[in-house]
Amino acid sequence: MTRSARITGSGSYLPAKVLTNKDLEGIVDTTEDWIYSRSGIRQRHIAAEGEFTSDLALAASREALQSAGRAPSDVDLIVVATTTADQVFPSTACLLQQRLGIHGCPAFDVQAVCAGFLYALDVVYRYVATGASRCALVVGAETFSRILNWEDRTTCVLFGDGAGAMVVEASESPGILSSHIHADGAFKDLLCVPVGVSTAYQEVLDGRAYTEMQGKEVFRWAVSTLGDAVIEILEANGIEKEEIDWLVPHQANIRIIKAIAKRLDLSMDQVVVTIDQHGNTSAASVPLAFDSAVKDGRIRSGDKVIFEAFGGGFTWGSMLVEI
């Protein structure tokens, strides 16, 4: 009997506070049209004071469990992808585990920035496929607004907060068919927060741990790398792009998404785009987009879907899934 890892439920959460492009005109030197024309973003959600990454993860997880028809007690593995953990330690996964009332199962975080959810889902896929887990909860959650310099218009207009979650279970039916993740630290300085606990803790304490990005270089590498990632997964599975129903890309920039679609000769009608509603939510991006397309009926049972993402490090990955 072949064991596969199948996505059986999904959920998402966006904070109530909405920050529009028009709002940003009063914060930094920018315009509503300038932001939209260069990114495709119309608004982003910002976590409230006292609202943390684990809060967002909890809301998305509860929805995913309900979607899958599972109780927290069914979960035997929790993996959270985040760059903006509540605490240095314990992990956000452990905090989520406690709040869900789950005891004893493995719970840990994965940090690969915007590619983090695919890294976490890859881990869960391998746990389930090898029999080490039967019902796993995987979450991408971020309060990325906390590591933005709100005087830097090149970064603060792009990112937002949110969470997405999936339940992945052992199944005899097809599910995750192939997963490919990569990294290259040679590009570490192109997209980063250049301080941390070990190197410059005082700057962290003083609230100066900000995201820095060399936008043109990141754009160029993202388009090239994500296009290659889709080709890699098609070749690895011996299929043609015509057999793919949906592409769910990391929601970083509409120009990146369109450039990838053009390179692959893929209609934008087959690409899930939600960036206009929540901006770049880093590790939450892919599960948020997926859950949106499931809820509105675009993605259905039996569809073949490619997930792909690219983040600081650089880190990147792609995954082929039958829903």
Task: Dump the DSSP string for 95-144.
Answer: HHHHHHT--SS-EEEE--GGGHHHHHHHHHHHHHHTTS-SEEEEEEEEEG
Q: What is the CATH number of the domain that holds 236?
A: 3.40.47.10
Task: Note whether 210 and 99 are same-domain residues.
Answer: no
Q: If you average pLDDT over residues 282-299, what whole number do you get?
A: 98
Give the list of residues 6+ apart from residue 291 with CB closer than 8 angstroms, or none: 10, 11, 12, 164
For residue 89, the tally of other CB atoms under 10 A from its CB is 9
Q: Of 172, 203, 237, at which residue does a domain stop?
A: 172
Residues acting as catalytic residues: 114, 250, 280
Model confidence over 127-169: pLDDT tens digits?
999 999 999 999 999 999 999 999 999 999 999 999 999 999 9
Task: Note whether 225 and 309 are same-domain residues.
Answer: yes
Look up the pTM and report it: 0.97
Model confidence over 71-110: pLDDT tens digits?
999 999 999 999 999 999 999 999 999 999 999 999 999 9
Position 207 scores a pLDDT of 85
Task: Note whether 135 and 188 are same-domain residues.
Answer: no
Burial of 139 (0-12, 13-18, 19+ CB in 10 A): buried
Give how far Cα 322 sits from Cα of 77, 87, 210, Å: 22, 36, 38
Q: If you average pLDDT over residues 190-205, what whole number do you get?
A: 93
Task: Note whether 39 and 187 are same-domain residues.
Answer: no
> What total number of domains does the chain contain?
2
Q: Of 129, 151, 172, at which residue does a domain stop?
A: 172
Looking at residue 234, its amino acid is L
Q: Is the pLDDT of residue 303 over 80?
A: yes
Task: Note whether 227 and 135 are same-domain residues.
Answer: no
Give the list of residues 6+ apart from residue 311 with CB closer than 8 angstroms, or none: 112, 113, 114, 115, 116, 191, 250, 282, 283
Task: Note whether 130 and 226 are same-domain residues.
Answer: no
Give how far Cα 234 sits from Cα of 126, 229, 237, 310, Å: 20, 9, 5, 18
Model confidence over 7-66: pLDDT tens digits?
999 999 999 999 999 999 999 999 999 999 999 999 999 999 999 999 999 999 999 999
Position 3 scores a pLDDT of 83
Position 193 scores a pLDDT of 97
**Domain limits for position 217:** 178-322
Q: Of 126, 148, 172, at which residue does a domain stop?
A: 172
Write out the two tokens for 87: 């605490």
Task: Note whether 69 and 164 are same-domain residues.
Answer: yes
Beta bridge partners, 306, equal: 247, 320
Average pLDDT score, the chain: 96
Task: Note whether 104 and 75 are same-domain residues.
Answer: yes
Q: Is the pLDDT of residue 1 over 60?
A: no
pLDDT interval class at 264 (50, 70, 90): confident
Task: Note whether 62 and 120 are same-domain residues.
Answer: yes
Task: Note whether 201 and 64 are same-domain residues.
Answer: no
Task: Note whether 60 and 95 are same-domain residues.
Answer: yes
Task: Note whether 15 and 150 are same-domain residues.
Answer: yes
Position 2 scores a pLDDT of 64
Q: Is the pLDDT of residue 177 over 90?
A: yes
Q: If you average pLDDT over residues 226-240, what whole number do you get?
A: 95
